[in-house]
Amino acid sequence: MYGYTMKKKDIQDRLRRIEGQVRGLQRMVEEDTYCIDILTQLNSATAALRAVGMGLLDGHIRHCVRESIEQGKGDEKVEELMAAVGRFAGK
């Protein structure tokens, strides 16, 4: 079981809403919408994706990492977590 399993439906629902936002962005470009309006919506979609990512990181720490530490295998999971945080932070 993964850290997000209990919230899987919520995550899927949020990702579907984000998918709709991205389709809306495509439509805005197609319809020659003003640049600032597109950038505003792009920022909203980006923030929504980051929120999903933070939720996944939270679940990973509270479930997967904690479980590994309790089983004496924490070092490997912590390294994996740090790499994931680095990727998420854009480093």
pLDDT digits (tens, 9 = 90+) for 8-56: 999 999 999 999 999 999 999 999 999 999 999 999 999 999 999 999 9
In 10 A of CB 38, how many CB atoms? 15
Tell me how crowded residue 4 is: count the other CB atoms within 10 A of its CB: 19
Q: Give which of 17, 68, 86, 11 is closest to 45, Cα–Cα.
A: 17
pTM: 0.84
pLDDT band per the 50, 70, 90 thresholds, residue 90: confident
Among residues 1, 91, 2, 17, the alpha carbon closest in space to that of 55 is found at 2
Instruction: Let me know: does 22 contact 45? Beta carbons within 8 Å.
Output: yes
